[in-house]
Amino acid sequence: MTKQRSEIEEKYQWDLTTIFPTDEAWEGELAALQADVEKTAGFAGHLLDSAKSLLEISETQLELMRRMETLYVYASMKNDQDTREGKYQEFQAKALGLYSALSQAFAFYEPEFLEATEEQLAAFMEEEPALQQYSHQFEKLLAGKKHVLSQEVEEVLAATSEVFDAPSETFSVLDNASIRFPEVTNEEGELVPLSHGSYISFMESSNRAVRQEAYEGLYSTYEQFQHTYAKTLQANVKVNNLKARLRKYDSARHAALSANFIPESVYDTLVEAVNKHLPLLHRYINLRKKLLGIDDLKMYDMYTPLSDVDYKFTYEDALAKAADTLTIFGDEYSAQVKEAFENRWIDVHENEGKRSGAYSGGAYDTNAFMLLNWQDTLDNLYTLIHETGHSLHSMFTRKNQPYVYGHYSIFLAEIASTTNENILTEKLLSEVEDDKTRFAILNHYLDGFRGTVFRQTQFAEFEQAIYKADQESQVLTAEFLNNLYSEINEKYYGLSAEENPQIQFEWARIPHFYYNFYVYQYATGFAAASALSHKIVHGSPEDKEHYLAYLKAGSSDYPLNVIKKAGVDMTKEDYLNDAFKVFEARLTELEALVEKGVHL
């Protein structure tokens, strides 16, 4: 049974007192920041008065945003640890309200800044050398000049940010705090509660009846609420399409990718490359069908391990394995891992009301915290090392970049985390002493590749399709979304939509569809990580140095330039094809082990 938070040992809870010692301290900073935001009222109209005014106003904005970020992170993470608590829902709402006020207070900044000429900015930087560290930031602002609106319109958009966030917030409350799944039968024949956190464990069960009951129980709940989920998703799509149209982008995807200076061709190349390699996925699924001895393979059979090797890890064992694996990066990296693992950066176990899934979070001035919902599985070891990759990326960036460049592009975010996963696979395969364990690791890798490259690209294809449909005035009803999703799913897996009716509701449970063209980066990140991990494990010391430099770069250069310096050119298809070569080689190795009878 899922525990209450009060029943979780303190050592397994993140220590948010390192951000604010008490809730009262947070409330005090909220009031202080509100007062300081109000003091900026006289800035509008004076940004370009002089080099000094540009510096003063720019640095004031950054300082207030830095404090705002810390304030929001505390409220958000307090809410995530138990989404049922009204107090922290209120904290988060207050933080979002203040963020909206802060954005509104500086809505003048970009329109005024974009009135500057290159000659004027050059003269200002010569007169005030402290401005020079902002040269890349200024360059990025100028690149988006045609998408910045008048000050009046910018103020309106800033003031409505809470309204625009409503679909995502509604989904979060509905999915994490409101809906309840039925009880299902576990492998011991006991009726137990089904939850977001336990669902994947049921899907990994070797008992097909257990898998089927949990699968049907989960999706029967989403079927019940499908029309509500359709409304929240449709509203979110409309918000992003509206904002893109107002800012004169071709589409919401164009706007989202432009924010990271990523050409849309990178997205299209991914979808095309994955579709070209779908026969590899079908080959793997046919092998799965053969190994499971199931003629009528269903979607709930996709996650159960093909191996019976009991490769489980307690949380403590996982910490030790992750720390050992990551020593490959050197002492500087390992010292940071030790700090994260020993000083309560991680919220480990599931509790009632806790946000589902896993993430790495925090602000520039806080620890890079991690949220988990721990289960003793190999998959959770990978989740731990994945989120550690995010957190270490964050800490290296924050320690080596000023606040203005202290956040890395989301396009680069999944590369560091997935590089860690790939290195873990390399290590496990290098340590294996018998064919059965090797079979289990290969199976896990192939399932991970399927879930990251193929599945996330499937999501990306669906996401692009629903945004395009909305642009073409198609109403995103539950029926439309169900049909579209089942068609794409059938193409990817080769499993009949008619024989897998529940999968049509899967779109309703995917939070990343509210992240505005985020999911494709899991797939591109995994493929880039495949190339980088090969260099780190098999390359020279310089390859590791280049990788650490990438971790430290933050947003001090354009994302594609940062990763190119680390050794991967993501404007070309080569890195994707190389990743599929690794997948095929490991699939071939698994097939050879099957021929040897290792699975029997």
DSSP assignment of 140-152, as one string?
HHHHTGGG---HH
Could you give the residue ranges of the DSSP H alpha helices within 144-277? 151-159, 161-173, 196-203, 208-224, 226-246, 252-258, 264-276
Q: What is the DSSP letter of 519?
A: T
Q: Could you tell me which residues come within 8 angstroms of residue 599 by beta carbon, excluding any fewer than 6 positions away?
A: 291, 306, 307, 439, 593
Long-range pairs for 118-121: beta carbons < 8 A, 24 or more residues apart: 118/142, 120/48
The per-residue pLDDT for 598 is 87
Contact 493, 299 (CB under 8 A): yes
Per the structure block, which two tokens stand in for 121?
A: 């900015």
The per-residue pLDDT for 600 is 65
The per-residue pLDDT for 378 is 85
User: Hunting for tokens 């070797």 — which residue is that?
Assistant: 206
* Residue 373 Cα distances to 222, 283, 352, angstroms: 21, 32, 11
In whole angstroms, give the CA distance from residue 331 to residue 439.
32
Contact 379, 316 (CB under 8 A): no
Query: What is the Cα 118 distance to its own chain's centre?
Result: 37
In whole angstroms, give the CA distance from residue 360 to residue 510.
18
Query: What is the Cα 323 distance to its own chain's centre?
Result: 22
Amino acid sitting at position 158:
A
504-495-181 Cα angle (round to 5):
40
The per-residue pLDDT for 50 is 97
Widest CA span in the chain:
78
Could you give the residue ranges of the DSSP H alpha helices within 45-186? 51-81, 86-105, 109-113, 118-127, 135-143, 151-159, 161-173
Per the structure block, which two tokens stand in for 542?
A: 């310089």
Q: Give the number of other Cβ atoms within 10 Å of residue 320's Cβ.
A: 12
Residue 318 parent element (H or E): helix 315-325
Q: Could you tell me which residues come within 8 angstroms of residue 276 by beta carbon, excluding any fewer than 6 positions away?
A: none
For residue 520, which of 448, 446, 455, 449 has the smallest C-alpha distance? 455
Amino acid sitting at position 284:
Y
Catalytic residue among 155, 213, 387, 506: 387
459-504-288 Cα angle (round to 5):
75
Long-range pairs for 257-261: beta carbons < 8 A, 24 or more residues apart: 257/517, 258/144, 258/147, 260/409, 260/410, 260/411, 260/559, 261/140, 261/143, 261/409, 261/558, 261/559, 261/560
The per-residue pLDDT for 106 is 96
In whole angstroms, give the CA distance from residue 172 to residue 170.
5
In whole angstroms, give the CA distance from residue 598 to residue 367.
45
HSE-CB of 543 using CA atoms within 13 angstroms: 13
User: Hunting for tokens 């560091």 — which residue is that?
Assistant: 416
Task: Report the DSSP beta bridge partners of residue 347.
Answer: 371
Residues of the chain with pLDDT under 70: 600
Residue 185: φ, ψ to 5°? -90, 130
In whole angstroms, give the CA distance from residue 578 to residue 251.
31
Is 152 a known active-site residue? no
The per-residue pLDDT for 561 is 96
